[in-house]
Copies of this chain bind each other. A is one copy, B any other.
Amino acid sequence: MPLKEIQERVDSWIRQYKLGYFKPFESLARLTEEVGELAREINHLYGPKKKKSTEDVKELSDEIADVLFAITCLANSLNIDLDESFNKMMHKIENRDENRWEKK
């Protein structure tokens, strides 16, 4: 699914509710929450932490999708075009940073 379509699908979902988009600080808090859940999952799967027996182990990929959703909400609420931002960033690292690390 293209980023544009992702932004539109999230927008359609949010626009049906009165609540609407969060304000920037609230969106950021939501993103922080989701990154925290991703951290917990990574600790479960790759770390030394003993799982609590009552805890459901959610899939890591679900947590990544939640982070992606939080980022899309923030971008939508600020009229940021993810495709454009992503292309600009990739263009930069594909060119300016080209020799920052040792090539194969």
Give A residues with C-beta under 8 Å from B: 1-3, 6, 9-10, 13, 15-19, 22-26, 28-40, 42-43, 45-50, 52, 60-62, 64-69, 71, 74-75, 78, 80-90, 93-94, 100-104
Contacts and interface: CB of A to CB of B under 8 A. Distances in A.
Contacts of A75: 61, 64
Nearest to A89: B65
A1 B3 contact: yes
Dominant secondary structure of chain A at its interface with chain B: helix
Contacts of A1: 2-3, 83, 86-87
B18 A102 contact: yes
Residue among A29, A85, A100 facing the most chain B CB atoms (10 A cut-off): A29
